[in-house]
Structure 1
Amino acid sequence: MNSRSLAPSRPARSGTTGPITRGLRWLGVLAAGGITAWIIVRYPSLPDTVATHFTVSGQADDWGPKWSILVLAGVMLLLSLALAALSVRPRLFNYPVAVTASNAQAIYREGERMMVGTLLGVVLLYLGIAWSVVLTGGTALTVSGIVLMLAATIIGIVRLVRVGR
């Protein structure tokens, strides 16, 4: 059963998004747009061949055409926008607990927070990869993005299970 078929049987969302969650969502969207704009502005000055893969230590170990960074920009911008759009529809998510009338609003709030945290992790990962390609040395940002995505997921699931009891 997919999440769309579950949503009509779940209680409607009646809560509103808090200002911090809303602000962080906008920060993620604006940052993804800013990174994409930065890549486009820097694109003409990039060499014809750019790094397309990096070792764990951050050293480039594969190379490709310059236009490959535009593919990265398109995919990451679309992913960021999709995560932001999905985060405002927590009723559609698959949850590790049953959604009932008594816990729905708390579960929706935690689901939205988890998705916004994931969005911020993706944007930080995007910045790290773009930084590595355009300037070199974005390993710390890339690792931070991965850690943030994992933390948002783990903490989000723990919080969902707690409010779902």
Structure 2
Amino acid sequence: MVGIMSTILSKAQRPARTYATGPITRGLRWLSVLASLGTSAWILVRYPSLPDTVATHFAAGGQADDWGPRWSVLVLGAIMLLLSLLLAAMSTRPRGFNYPAEVTEDNAQAIYREGERMLVWTLLGMQPIYLGIAWATLETGGAPLLAVGLVGLIGATIVGIARTVRAAR
């Protein structure tokens, strides 16, 4: 418990955020939220015409290999929309992130900026995954979008951590 309290206190003692988010980061955040809302809307529009049983899992080649009830598509949509909205909201509060370096008065703004960017790019990488899963479930295909999203998530993580470590220097 003592360790948890000291972590919370150290984050509370960090310098306040003073930088302004850049227009590209803001635009990508909004684009991602709109993409998530659009995919969710597509699921809701298509839901009444879905069969009682839909594909819920796919093999590496993209063929359905498990099936479930139609309402499972709504669960997918709710989870992905909630994750997207939470990531978008969290990305605006970089002071509370866990960083791979010590946050000081001198490096705080640079580290916060890179932490915000990493979360926004992670959010952006989630959108092709969400669309790909919805596409595979509602139509056929979607595997290329999943691959693009996974590459985007891995890239956002690697580049984001490297840029955060560099900003700490």
Q: Deviations over 1:120-154 (max 9, x none)?
A: 11111100100100111000001111111110010
Q: Deviations over 1:54-75 (max 9, x none)?
A: 1111111000000000000000
Task: Tell me what 1:63 maps to.
Answer: 67
Task: Tell me what 1:28 maps to.
Answer: 32
Q: Residues 77-156 of structure 1: matches in 2 within 5 Å?
A: 77-156=81-160
- The normalised TM-score by structure 1 is 0.97
Equivalent-residue separation in structure 1 for 2:10 and 2:93 (angstroms): 13
- What secondary structure, in the 3-state scheme, does the structure 1 residue paired with 2:21 have? coil
- What secondary structure, in the 3-state scheme, does the structure 2 residue paired with 1:64 have? strand
Aligned length: 165
Aligned-pair CA distance for 1:80: 0.2
- The normalised TM-score by structure 2 is 0.95
Aligned-pair CA distance for 1:4: 4.1
Unaligned runs of 5+ in 1: none
Equivalent-residue separation in structure 2 for 1:138 and 1:5 (angstroms): 45
Equivalent-residue separation in structure 1 for 2:22 and 2:11 (angstroms): 22
CA contact (8 A) 1:6 1:92 kept: no
AA of the residue aligned to 2:16: A
Unaligned runs of 5+ in 2: none
Share of identical aligned residues, percent?
Answer: 64
AA of the residue aligned to 2:151: V
Equivalent-residue separation in structure 2 for 1:47 and 1:143 (angstroms): 27
Aligned-pair CA distance for 1:35: 0.4
What is the CA RMSD across the aligned residues, in angstroms? 1.0
